[in-house]
Amino acid sequence: MQPSPQPTPESRQLRTVALSGLLGTAVEFYDFLVYGTVAALVFGDLFFPEADPAVGTVAAFGTFAAGYLARPLGGILFGHFGDRVGRKSMMLLTMLLMGSGSFLIGLLPTYDAIGVWAPVLLVLLRVVQGVAIGGEWGGATLMVVEHAERTQGTRRGLWSSFTQLGAPLGSLLSAGVVTLVSALPDDDFRSWGWRVPFLLSVVLLGVGLFVRLKVAESPLFTKPAPRERPPVLEVLRRPKPVVLAACVGIGAFTAQSLLTSFMISYAVDEGYSRPQVLTAVTVASAVALLVLPTASALSDRVGRRPVVLTGALASAALAFPVLALVDSGSPGLLILALALGHGVAQSTMYGPLGALLTEMFGTRVRYTGASLGYQAATLVGAGFSPLIASGLLASNGGGSTPVSLLLCCGAAITALTVWRIRETHTDTLEPGTIRSATPTPEGTPR
């Protein structure tokens, strides 16, 4: 029998980079979802008492700014230095800021202890986290894709899915931890139990930093290339690829936001208990762990566009049935609804995005361009859709039709954008300035 081939240094490094991307995105989504869930449970009383109008103003501004508006700023900031200085150092810094911010939130005194400084410090930490998150995904994803280019060029989609898998993994971890601590007696949960999920983020942070310290710089970035104007200026000089990158991701983030964080409050208002909703989110995240790599691997064979388009069409087709299942009042049908809408349809759209967005930009502006496109999609799709849905539900007097229509609108934007971009899965990621996102007669980059 022939001995099995030994892994090369390049293949071992690729696995380390993929694990690094997985852990980074897991920290991001763990922090985001823990904050959203715990804030819904106790932060209103502990940090933003309604009796103080000044604190209410700080809360409204801080929640809005820290949640999403800080992310594009992080994409520009870390994208600039990632394209100028290197990917690895920015990846270490973004993970450190994300994890440290979450850990410090777990140590914050409440309003009763230090007054208005409690919400001010909470807002400040959320802004820091938002900036860090803005730079995290772009660096983690393109590092995996650029390393995969050298040894697994035809499987960039599959390898980039490890970064995307951090989303459902972070959801699973956050739902599990919050479910455990929310089972505490109410007084214990309000006094110290809510801090536990934030403090536990230091474990993910430690493991993530340990892995990232072993990661080598991107082999494409280290190739010599001529110095150009600042990456953000180069990208915005020809903004069409960024606009298309943002639009192609809107459907996935609209579905993700409406079927996870927004769905928790919506389903509870419909009469479900919070453990029932968290269980449904957990099952949907487990389904996504299977669908994401499958969709990404399929995109390596048939192309990014057909897979993303299939997910968008499925999301639109399932929009009204999914909300009808939620409105049924059955916990089993709630689980089925989120498994179909989030675990299958949304994950099919989301899986190939990592490879697709990084392939739309040249090496010297890839960090900036991919980050800006991705974070703009999160701002529009995930940032505004829950606010719009809540407003429509209030004005409509109830009923899930507005939520279904928003899901359809997001999916339609993605589907139309897929029609406008060209296929990229067979491209070579040669160093360059910027790539065209639209088709040419020959089907090659302009």
DSSP 114-156: HTTHHHHHHHHHHHHHHHHHHHHHHHHHHHHHHHHHHH-GGGH
Q: Which of 153-162, 283-292, 376-385, 405-414 has the lowest mean pLDDT?
A: 153-162
From the list 34, 59, 28, the residue with the least C-alpha distance to 129 is: 28
Rounded mean pLDDT, 69-78: 84
pLDDT of residue 440: 43
Q: Please check the confidence at residue 383 and state whether its pLDDT lies above 50.
A: yes
Across all residues in the chain, what is the average pLDDT?
81
* Comparison of pLDDT for 244 and 393, the residue scoring more: 244
CATH T-level topology, domain 10-217+231-420:
Growth Hormone; Chain: A; (1.20.1250)
User: What helix, strand, coil percent values describe the chain, rounded to 5?
Assistant: 80, 0, 20
Torsion of CA 358, 362, 367, 373, to 10 degrees: -60
Token pair of 75 as six digits = 């994409």
Q: Please check the confidence at residue 294 and state whether its pLDDT lies above 90.
A: yes
Q: Cα–Cα–Cα angle for 330, 333, 308, nearest 5°?
A: 150
Rounded mean pLDDT, 367-390: 84
Q: What is the DSSP letter of 115?
A: T
Q: Please check the confidence at residue 443 and state whether its pLDDT lies above 70.
A: no
pLDDT of residue 221: 67
Q: What's the pLDDT tens digit per position in 170-215?
A: 888 887 888 888 788 888 888 899 999 999 988 888 888 888 888 8
Rounded mean pLDDT, 101-113: 89
* Percent of the residues in the chain that have a pLDDT greater than 90, as a whole number: 24
Residues 6 or more apart from 442 whose CB is under 8 A from it?
Answer: none
pLDDT of residue 441: 38
Residues 211, 59: Cα–Cα separation, whole Å = 36
Q: Please check the confidence at residue 295 and state whether its pLDDT lies above 90.
A: yes
Residues 286, 330: Cα–Cα separation, whole Å = 20
* Comparison of pLDDT for 400 and 52, the residue scoring more: 400
The pTM score is: 0.81
pLDDT of residue 355: 87
Domain ranges of the chain: 10-217+231-420
